[in-house]
Amino acid sequence: MQTPSAAAPLASRAARDPESRASGFDAGKSPVIHVQGLGKTYQTARGALNLFEDLNLEVAAGEMVAIVGQSGAGKSTLLHILGALDTPSEGTVYCASTNVAKLSAREAAAFRNREIGYVWQFHYLLPEFTALENVAMPLLARNMKKVEALQTAQKWLSEVGLEDRGDHRPGELSGGEQQRVALARALVCGPRLLLADEPTGDLDNSTAGRVFDLIERLHRSHGLTSILVTHNMDLAERCRRVLRLGNGRLTEITDAGSKPLQAGNLG
C-alpha cells in the first residue's frame, strides 16, 4: 500500500544511489526519464532474445513523445521497463528521479501507484465494477477513505467528459468511453508520467482522434510528461518529438518541428 510517507525514502534513496553519480544523473535538475546503456534480453526456450543493447533516451519534463516501430520491435517492453513493470538486463533507467531497476516488487508497486499513469490498447477495466469505482480503485489501493476516493474519481470522470456515466459498468460504455475511463483511472493518483501503449489502437479513426485530443489536453493541463506508443501516423505527427524503435535502436525522427515526418519513416 502506498502512503505519502513511504514515498520519500524511495526518492531520496535514488538520489543517493552511487550509480546515479556514475551515470551523471542529478535528481535535482534531471530529465524525467534518463536511460543509459539499456539492454534487454529475454531467455526463451529457443535461447536468448536480445531486444536492445546500449539504448539511450532522455525525456524532459513536459515533453510529449511518440514512439513508433514495427510490431515486435520492443515498444511495449521499453514502456514496461520505464514504468517498473519489467526490469532491464543492463544499463541504468531513471524514471521520475527513481532508479527503477533497483526497486523491489513492493517498491515498484508503490512507485507505479505514485508516479506512473498507464493506459493500454485495451482498457482493462474491471467488468463487475462501475466506471466510478474503477476510477477510484488506485486511490483505494493507497488507503484513501472510500467517500473521498469516490469524490475524487467523480472529479476525474468530469475531466474526461463522463460525469454522467459513473454508474455504468464497462460493458455499458462505448470503446471511446472505456478508454476515457481508463485515462481517468490512470491519472487519478496524480502521476507525473503518462505511459500509453497503443491507447487508440482499438478505436475507429474519429474516436481515436477524440481520445488523442483528450490525452493532449490532460497532458497540458496537468503538466504531464507523456510517452505514447502508436501505429497511427497522424497521431504520432501531433507529438513534437517522434522516436522510432527498430533493430534495438531508438532513432529520433523529428523534434520540435525540424524535419517533417513522412509515411515511409514511421514503421
- The answer to whether 75 contacts ligand ADP (rule: CB under 6 A) is yes
Beta carbon of residue 86, minimum distance to ligand ADP (angstroms, whole number): 8
Which one of residues 73, 100, 110, 153 is an interface residue with ligand ADP (CB under 6 A)?
A: 73
Interaction between residue 221 and ligand ADP (CB under 6 A): no
Return the one option of ligand ADP, Mg ion, none that residue 22 interacts with (CB less than 5 to 8 A, by type).
none
- The sign of the CA dihedral 258, 260, 265, 267 is positive
Residues that bind Mg ion in the complex, under the rule CB under 5 A: 76
Nearer to Mg ion, 189 or 229 (CB): 229
Q: Residue 94 has which C-alpha cell?
A: 531513471
Query: b/e per residue, 132-158, with b = 16+ CB within 10 A?
Result: bbbbbebbbebebeeeebbebbbebbe
Query: With respect to ligand ADP, which residue has the nearer C-beta, 24 or 72?
Result: 72
Rounded Cα distance between 108 and 120, Å, is 19
Which range, of 74-82, 93-101, 166-174, 233-241, touches ligand ADP by CB under 6 A?
74-82
DSSP per-residue letters across 51-72: EEEEEEEEE-TT-EEEEE--TT
Q: Is 45 in the site for ligand ADP (CB under 6 A)?
A: no
Q: Do the Cβ atoms of 59 and 227 come closer than 8 Å?
A: yes
Residues lying near ligand ADP in the complex (CB under 6 A) are found at 42, 44, 49, 51, 69, 71-77
